Structure 1
Amino acid sequence: MITPPQDATLRQVLDHDEDGVLRLVLAPSGPDVPVRGVLIGDEDAARPHDGHLVLAAGLTADPAAAAERVRELARRGATALVLRDTGDGPPPAEIVAAARETGLALLARAGWADWADTVELVRSACAFAALGTGDRLVGDIAGGGLAVLAAEVARYCGASITVEDTQFRVLAHSATGPDADPVRQSTILGGKVPDWRVAELRRAGLLRALWSSRDVIHRAADGDDPERLIVAIRNGGEMLGSIWAAADGAGFAPEAREALRRAAEVAVPYLLQHRLRVGSERRREQHAVRGLLSGEGDRRSHMWSLGLTAQTPCAVVVAEQEESVAPFPERVFQALALQARAHRTGTRYLRESHRLTVLLPVPDGQDRDAVALARDLASLAAAMPDAPVVRVGAGPVVASPLTAAASAEEARLVVRALREREARADGGPPPRHAGPDDVRQSVAVLRVLDAVRPLWDRHGGPVHDMVAADRATGGDLVRSLTAYLDAAGDIPRAARRLVLHPNTLRYRLKRVRERFGLDLDDPDTRLIVTLAMRLATSDDGHDAPDGPDTGKASDSTEM
């Protein structure tokens, strides 16, 4: 006799948490309180929260108001409140006191995880609890995981079994003998159903039937391809994967179809757990890479999470596109990430909307390796049709991942230097990659500008007034002064760059003197103006475009 499904408990959820997504802060009613599901913030706030974990997404920062929210959740029957662990110490005393008073459990979500991880964890734990007890198949599997499930289902069905996710990757399979059909052999050896096979199944309509059917699908034998039974693994309406059974000579056992139906139900929590583990590993790695690149958090823990040692030299390479365009197209990002991964074993990367940052182990400690990767990434991006402009900078090699943040900072400065050089270039193809030695002086100037900017923002005077007034009217004077100073006072050369008549440029410089009282022949004034122009055209690392200047009608008539 099969006992009815049971609720999970808080203890089971925490025991199920192999990756440390949640940390128990307080359980005043004990760990065996029921957990029937998960709610996000004020989702379905009007209905009872009986037995649910509530995720504190958007919880007010006011401790008193948050404490009242805890009391409200307890009144509605919630089991626990999950807070985000900010790393700033324990939750506010008001929240802890309210939880202790009402019996509501408090949990903290790990800093590297996100709310989706918590949802997956609770769903997986609840799915395991819902299997019930007394079922012969469940008893034989006994929590052994997908490998045991595949082996036991093979025994019940008299067939060879593979368990696959929705991307047709093999998650588990039963024993494979030497007489296994070629498709099964190549699928297991490759860890994934071959692309040609997926295309064939799609053309035959089998995949459409699999996605839409809740019953076991039969596929007749065809030449060397044996008879197969397939069933989808679903959690409610969500497709998680599938189980494929291939007949082994004597055909399927009489109970094969029913065994596959039950196996699809039993597999749900395992596939949820697998997806949680894969997602957790990816987010934990991204959290560790981000921590090392920013120099934040426990850098040694980040380093160990990535399998690195303190004696591993490394360098950071940054590939970045303009923020004024859409984020990296997926195909461009995937190509760049694959190129970075292929460059050396142990390479890690961090994806942001307009930037790919690569943490590259450099065993020989030579800068040329990071520069070579920068060159390869820039060449790959330039060769892709319709790809955005990508500039790639390599930071210097540092002795340890613990100091990777210094290399990352320099790599970002190298990219800024490339942008500035391109904006100020007089012609010719601009370089799209560089190492620290290639733009050393430009990087030094950027560091000076970043240090000077706070002082400049507080500064007054005629140069400051001129920049502010000119920005409000289109920026002609700033562009003209920048070109004039870059050309070392050579008016014809500066005018060619601006696509202006030299007399127009002379008129603009005269206007600077007369309107704002700036004497460009004075060395101190020229230095301040030069700094001001560089700051005006380099907005905290995001350079303003500096293209040809067509001039205004008033300029051409006032020469």
Structure 2
Amino acid sequence: MRVITVSGLVETLGPALLRPVLDGADLDVRDVVIAEPGVAPSPGDLLLGVGVTAQDQQELLDRTAAPVAGVVFRGPLAASLTAPPGVAVAEVPAGVSWTRLLWLLRDLAGPGEGHGDTLASLADDVAELLDGPVTVEDAAGQVLAYSARQEPSDAGRISSIVGRRIPSDALARLRTKGVYRRLTRGREPIYVPSGPDGRLPRLVVPVRHGTELLGAIWAIVPGPVPPSRISALGPTLTAVALHLLRLRTQGDAARRLLADRLRALLSGDTCDLVPPSPFRVVAVRPGDGLGELLRRHGWRAPYLTSIDGVSYVLVAEQGDALVPGSWAWLRLTAGETGLTVAAGAVTGDAPMVSRTQARELLDLLSDRQITTYEDAWPRLVVRRAGAVPTDLLLGGPLPALIAHDAAHGTAYVETLRAWLWEQGNPTAASARLHVHPNTFRYRMRRLLETAPCDLASAEVRLALTLQLVTL
């Protein structure tokens, strides 16, 4: 059975190619056709309003009704546009050709060319070979197809099909058991015994193209599967791999287009990309594999691009940690995966400003740190003050301490820095330097003997702090 709906197409192609405008009944898309006067659409059709003017859009919707899956128009659309109950409306941005969109949509949702040519029919073939219900998923855990037979089943399988991906609680259990680690690293099928809450046993079969994991086949099985049945999957696995490779190639093209348009938006160039508002621009490191990581954790079409070697993500300020693409979600995901994240200030109309703030803040962060421009303002003030293009080492104890450290191998400069950063607290300062508090107190006495100064003076402490920032 097909599982591609209008919302699924929108999420797969991303806002660079297709944007949701009005929600519908989320029917399966059976075919993609160009709307023509006097030609009645079939159930499940997705109509493309090629050449339909803004004045005629409402007229086309008025003569369209469910079970049509939806209608796509060239933007911008009138705010007063209304659709019949159950009919979804989407918008194709300016600059995207109808020909390109039609090709992509038909490749994703158009009718197959015969038995064995669709993922759904291949899922049926696997279900027959393994004698159990099957789902086919991509590397990010999105359900792409499932077999017509879905009995016996359990709550996890039902949730996977309805929600188009493995439920988060089941995913956490599988990761704890090491299933995903074995899936990403190996080629052999993985047998997962029955689990709590009536979860039935599964056979997980990796689908690869060379060394690259494209996805997996998940089959509910009564018990361990004989090697002979697994061997018989060979030709079907090859066909599934070709389908997943084609889908991934299409997704890569859509992601490149979205990245280009987001790059233009963040660089101040002319761009019709409309991000969620309010939003933050977030600088993230490391950038390698970031897109795949975000998709694997649930954000199917992330606003992600790279400028001058730095990876940026645009996230919505609103939404809790369960909403992929929100700041709360990214913060939680970064904490779980060890990313370093610097978020610019919240804005609704100044993406360049938020991006500049994120870039400046990223330079201040150690690995795995996560913070926002609003929270890090003290560090930014000190950094900017220290960045003034002038020589601040014009007096005070620092020149003498620097010379003493160079001549005798002492660490008086770092000792003074720790004392200032920890506001004179010897316990905290010694912990920063990983020495005993008594050792730290001894070093402070010695450095003050070497280069006397009045650390009780707030003005002296401020001047020393600014000098240290420039080192």
TM-score (norm 1): 0.36
Higher helix fraction (1 or 2): 1
TM-score (norm 2): 0.41
